[in-house]
Amino acid sequence: MKFGGTSVKDAEAFERVAKIVSGERENSPVVITSAMAKVTDALLNAFEIAKRGDLSEAFATLKEHFKRHEAIAEELLNESQKKSFFTELTLAKEELSDLLLRAERRSLPFQMLKDAIVSYGEQLSSRLLAEVCKAKGLNARQVDSRRVIVTDDEYGSAKPIWDETEKFIQLELNGLLEAGEIPIMGGFIAANRSGETTTLGRGGSDYSAALIGAALRAREIQIWTDVTGVLTCDPRICSDARTIDVLSYNEAAELSYFGAKVLHPKTIQPAVDYAIPVRVCNSHQPNEKGTMVLAESEISSNKIKSIAHKTGITILRISSARMLGSYGFMSALFQVFERFRTVIDVISTSEVSVALTLDNTDSLDKIITELERLGDVEIEHGHAVICIVGEGLRASSGLASKLFSTIDDINISLISHGASSVNLTFVIKEEKVNEVIKRLHNSFF
């Protein structure tokens, strides 16, 4: 059972979580929690301020968040629990202040420090949640995720080393579960082989839950959030977005990869590997059914299940007469992206040109310099990817026509369709994204 930041944002939310967990206690749950809402952002922000040289300001920005933890402890814990939580919090403050000082002095590699700092969000929320659950009569125990999830050294988006992770999770948790204890763990955080703290990427608590669920061959992985399941589009754009009852793993993977924040894109893989159902449910409305993500789903009557989008996308167009009738060009092209560890999202090709989109532009300048050896390169910033998802999309006729006629006054910069059977993806200017999604949602749902 994984609870996201908004599901642990204040005392009331912590109580709700304890109640939901209590309802499952006969089923040997393992609980994964995110940092309290806004805490991860605050820690990252404090790190940036310290890096710029203002240590006291950096630490000061965290005070309100320490207070939020204290307020929950005050409200929900008994005296001795309070005492031990406050001791833990004081220690966390000292350690954080020391880490921020190192950031200011640049005395350790930045990426490593950043992960160490940001991990306190989940360290504290999991400790607090374990205490709250105990106060509510549950046999709960905090387990440090860094002891069980082993990753490589890619700070900020570390990759778990599955064999070791699986073994450690089983060793650490099976005994506790058999003894009737409820392990409570922070999501998102892990450690590399030398024991340094790493993190799994923003939104990574979902991924932690899936890894743990897979290692334990759980009956179900539950993702508890602030909306009722996966919806037909981002509810912040269309307030009439509806809950989807069942999604296939493929549909969910495409949706989350192209921006449906409700599931972290990597969540699906461990669940697929062990055929574990993923249920997305609402911690504010625990009785609503939410969405089940399963190996297979039904084809919906209008073929489309949901519309996802991702903004901040850059298009690169590379054209070269050398492409004409030659081989090896694509390979040379992809090697450039591999060298700079940059993921390509959408791609489309013609006889002499390739257009592709990037989300991460950290190495853009270097990539362009290299690509210019292959051909002429054009760059267009400020785009958005829209991804229409539904099992059976590729095999259905008339759909593209309906889709594009709904937005026939909007310029489409790039289209990709047919690579997977479940999605149709296109790219437009970022400022049009809300309008396009609203029109498509109206027309299809």
Residue range at the interface with ligand ADP (CB under 6 A); choices 18-26, 115-123, 171-179, 219-227: 219-227
By beta carbon distance, the residue nearest Mg ion is 203
Q: Is 202 near ligand ASP (CB under 6 A)? A: yes
| Rounded-to-integer distance, Cα 388 and Cα 440, Å | 9
Strand partners for 190: 198
290 Cβ contact partners less than 8 Å away, ≥ 6 residues apart: 228, 229, 243, 279, 280, 281, 282
Q: Is 294 helix (H, G, I), strand (E, B) or coil?
A: strand
Count interface residues toward ligand ASP (CB under 6 A).
Answer: 13
Q: Build a one-symbol-per-residue string for 5-34: x at contacts with ligand ADP by CB under 6 A, - elsewhere.
A: xxx--------------------------x
Q: Which of 161, 165, 173, 277 is nearest to 223 (CA)?
A: 277
Residue range at the interface with ligand ADP (CB under 6 A); choices 142-150, 170-178, 222-230, 368-376: 222-230
Q: Is 40 near ligand ASP (CB under 6 A)? A: yes
Rounded least distance, CB 33 to ligand ADP, Å: 10
Q: Which does 233 bind (CB under 5 to 8 A by kind): ligand ADP, ligand ASP, Mg ion, none?
A: ligand ADP
Q: Is 265 near ligand ASP (CB under 6 A)? A: no
| Strands 291-294 and 278-282, bridge-based pairing | antiparallel
Q: Is 34 near ligand ASP (CB under 6 A)? A: yes
Q: Are 173 and 182 in contact (CB under 8 A)?
A: no
Q: Are 115 and 191 in contact (CB under 8 A)?
A: no
Q: Which of 203, 229, 265, 270 binds ligand ASP (CB under 6 A)?
A: 203
Rounded least distance, CB 268 to Mg ion, Å: 14
Q: Which does 33 bind (CB under 5 to 8 A by kind): ligand ADP, ligand ASP, Mg ion, none?
A: none
Residue range at the interface with ligand ADP (CB under 6 A); choices 18-26, 111-119, 234-242, 419-427: 234-242
Q: Which of 269, 278, 306 is nearest to 391 (CA)?
A: 306
Give the long-range contacts of residues 234-239, CB within 8 A, separation 24 or more. 234/259, 234/260, 234/261, 234/308, 234/309, 234/437, 237/309, 237/433, 237/434, 237/437, 237/438, 237/441, 238/437, 238/438, 238/441
Burial class (CB in 10 A: 0-12, 13-18, 19+), 341: exposed
Q: Is 227 near ligand ADP (CB under 6 A)? A: yes
Pick between residue 4 and residue 29 the one whose CB is nearest to ligand ASP.
4
Q: Is 213 near ligand ASP (CB under 6 A)? A: no
Q: Are 5 and 39 in contact (CB under 8 A)?
A: yes
Interface with ligand ADP in residues 258-297 (CB under 6 A):
260-262
Residue range at the interface with Mg ion (CB under 5 A); choices 4-12, 125-133, 332-340, 380-388: 4-12
Could you tell me where the DSSP H helices lie in 183-327? 205-215, 249-257, 268-273
Q: Build a one-symbol-per-residue string for 356-395: x at contacts with ligand ADP by CB under 6 A, - elsewhere.
A: ----------------------------------------
Q: Are 155 and 197 in contact (CB under 8 A)?
A: no
Q: Which does 425 bind (CB under 5 to 8 A by kind): Mg ion, ligand ASP, ligand ADP, none?
A: none
Q: Is 5 near ligand ASP (CB under 6 A)? A: yes
| Strands 197-199 and 189-192, bridge-based pairing | antiparallel
Q: Is 204 near ligand ASP (CB under 6 A)? A: yes
Residues that bind ligand ASP (CB under 6 A): 4-5, 34-35, 40, 121, 187-188, 202-206
